[in-house]
Amino acid sequence: MLRQLYNALWYPALPLALALSGAAGEASARRARLGRAWADDGAAACGEPRIWAHAASVGEVGALRAVMAGLLGERPGATLVVTTMTAAGRDAARRTIPGARAHLLAPLDCRRALRAFLGAIRPTLVLIAETELWPNYFIESRRAGERLAIVNGRISERALGRYRYIRPLLRQALACADLILAQTEDDARRFLALGAPAGRIKVTGNTKFDPASLADAPLRAELAAFAPACPLLVAGSTAPGEEQIVIAAWRELRGRFDQLALALAPRHLERIAEVEEILRAAQLEYLKASAAEAGAGATPRVLLLDTMGELRAMYGRAAIAFVGGSLLPGRGGQSLAEPAAAAVPVLFGPFHESQRAVASALLEARAGAVVRDAAELARAAASLLGDEAERLAAGHRARAVVARMAGGVGATLMHLRPLISVA
């Protein structure tokens, strides 16, 4: 009954859903949201699997990257189609999962759209990344006879509380999954609380901790030329309300470390104009990454990272990293593994429930710290900047934490192989 109501509501809501998904005025996006963006060209190898891998956006694409590379390495004749909910995620998938035959905006969770999409793709295996619990994705995939697995699955306590209102529908959806590969024991417990079959839940770790996914990224010369002889504080994946806190902390730090430079990287590039206004209001000169030039001479001490896919490389330049989405409630924190893998001490806010496992490990290893406001951010950063030996040691401990937590990709591939062999 709940699923019938859910599907019935889609039809009057479809125009609004298309508009909110950014597909109202763009023909190609509209086709994608309605499940009509791709037609098979007949190039798939006979007997090889056809894989549909779905992720929400950039972060979830990162969870799929090494897994897809592993699957395609083992089955090079496979057909892979990657979908994402956002255009930024689609662009990230194009860069990081080049072996896919198509990178598309995802269909809406509407029964008609899903049936059109599945009829065109004809996947034999469906992989859903992390938290994308769209009921029709699961139920319609099972109806079409596909094998299905959740990869790098996670559910926060906050999300679990919200899901209680549609628990019967999610129980029906999760029953369609052949495997639920959870990041942690806590995530596994939450999937079980939603009604997932206990025998199908496996704890495989976080696929974002794969060494290949976290290997040092090359920094283009134009960004390497930014404040080259200066220590750098990189504030990555910041959310609304956090840039002002970071700027206040940086200004306080400049009183003691006058050479300290700052790189600001908002989580969503759509906020660049907003962050520029914040910088202007603070009367700060800044350089946009998109306008950086090698050999340009003296530059401002603030860099605004307004380009996609360069934050990981900037962490390699950092003396200290602050990871956003964590100072204010509602987001749960962003990836702590990327700066840690770059051997950089990691500071983050108290609202990091989506990163709880790695946060706890960093805190236990004295490789990171929780900061609640500008004063605490400045104090923690000053402690590290004032003791170079300890800063370097903390960075090495951070990298060691990530190395210990690696293995998620291998465990995930081990569980997926039987699904591919019978697909």
pLDDT at 27 > cutoff 80: no
Sign of CA dihedral 154, 160, 165, 168: positive
Say yes or no: 382 and 271 in one domain.
Answer: yes
pLDDT of residue 157: 87
State both tokens at 345.
């001490």
Residue 15 lies in a domain: no
In this predicted structure, which of 15-19, 65-69, 82-86, 187-191 has the lowest mean pLDDT?
Answer: 15-19
Sign of CA dihedral 180, 411, 88, 83: negative
Domains: count for the chain: 2
Say yes or no: 157 and 241 in one domain.
Answer: no
pLDDT of residue 181: 97
Q: Which run of H or of E encompasses 356? A: helix 356-364
The dihedral formed by the CA atoms of 281, 282, 284 and 288, expressed in degrees to the nearest 10: -60
DSSP one-letter code for 131: T
**Which of the four pLDDT bands, split at 50, 70 and 90, describes residue 19?**
low
Say yes or no: 370 and 280 in one domain.
Answer: yes
Say yes or no: 76 and 225 in one domain.
Answer: no
DSSP one-letter code for 216: P
Backbone angles phi, psi at 95, to 5 degrees: -75, -40
The answer to whether the beta carbons of residues 178 and 147 sit under 8 Å apart is yes
Say yes or no: 48 and 191 in one domain.
Answer: yes
Residue 377 lies in a domain: yes
More confident residue, 59 or 259: 259
The answer to whether the beta carbons of residues 187 and 166 sit under 8 Å apart is no
pLDDT of residue 32: 87
Say yes or no: 203 and 337 in one domain.
Answer: no
The CATH number that applies at residue 54 is 3.40.50.11720
pLDDT of residue 241: 97
**Whole-model pTM over 0.95:** no
Residue entry with tokens 């790098």: 152
Say yes or no: 88 and 130 in one domain.
Answer: yes
Residues in the chain: 423
Q: Kindly report the CA angle at 346 between 345 and 349, in degrees rounded to 5?
A: 155
What single-letter amino acid sits at 227? A
Residue 16 lies in a domain: no
State both tokens at 252.
């306080």
**Which of the four pLDDT bands, split at 50, 70 and 90, describes residue 229?**
confident
State both tokens at 184.
């942690």
DSSP one-letter code for 269: G
pLDDT at 41 > cutoff 60: no
Catalytic, 222? Answer no
Residue 14 lies in a domain: no
CA–CA distance, 8 with 298 (Å, rounded to integer): 61
Residue 6 lies in a domain: no
Give Cβ neighbours of residue 11 (< 8 Å, ≥ 6 apart): none
Residue 385 lies in a domain: yes
- Percent of the chain topping pLDDT 70: 89
**Which of the four pLDDT bands, split at 50, 70 and 90, describes residue 80?**
very high
- Percent of the chain topping pLDDT 90: 70
CA–CA distance, 77 with 66 (Å, rounded to integer): 17
pLDDT of residue 406: 85
DSSP letters spanning 370-382:
E--SHHHHHHHHH
Per-residue pLDDT tens over the stretch 122-156: 999 999 999 999 999 999 999 998 999 999 999 98
Say yes or no: 150 and 272 in one domain.
Answer: no
Q: Which of 48, 60, 242, 353 is catalytic?
A: 60
> Whose CA is closest to 199, among 183, 172, 177?
177
What single-letter amino acid sits at 322? F
**Which of the four pLDDT bands, split at 50, 70 and 90, describes residue 309?**
confident
Say yes or no: 257 and 377 in one domain.
Answer: yes
Q: Under DSSP, is residue 15 helix (H, G, I), strand (E, B) or coil?
A: helix
pLDDT at 44 > cutoff 70: no
CA–CA distance, 293 with 308 (Å, rounded to integer): 17
Helices H / strands E in the chain, number of each = 18, 14
> Whose CA is closest to 261, among 219, 215, 319?
319
Q: Output b/e per residue, 291-316; b: 16+ Cβ within 10 A.
A: ebeeeeeebebbbbbbbeebbbbbbb
Say yes or no: 105 and 161 in one domain.
Answer: yes
Say yes or no: 351 and 376 in one domain.
Answer: yes
Residue 93 lies in a domain: yes
The answer to whether the beta carbons of residues 88 and 308 sit under 8 Å apart is yes
CA–CA distance, 186 with 358 (Å, rounded to integer): 13
DSSP one-letter code for 106: P
pLDDT of residue 35: 87
The dihedral formed by the CA atoms of 103, 313, 238 and 359, expressed in degrees to the nearest 10: 100
**Which of the four pLDDT bands, split at 50, 70 and 90, describes residue 275?**
very high
**Which of the four pLDDT bands, split at 50, 70 and 90, describes residue 20?**
low
Residue 33 lies in a domain: yes
The CATH number that applies at residue 387 is 3.40.50.2000
Say yes or no: 413 and 397 in one domain.
Answer: no
> Whose CA is closest to 385, among 326, 322, 323, 327?
322
CA–CA distance, 253 with 256 (Å, rounded to integer): 6
Residue 25, domain extent: 21-210+407-422
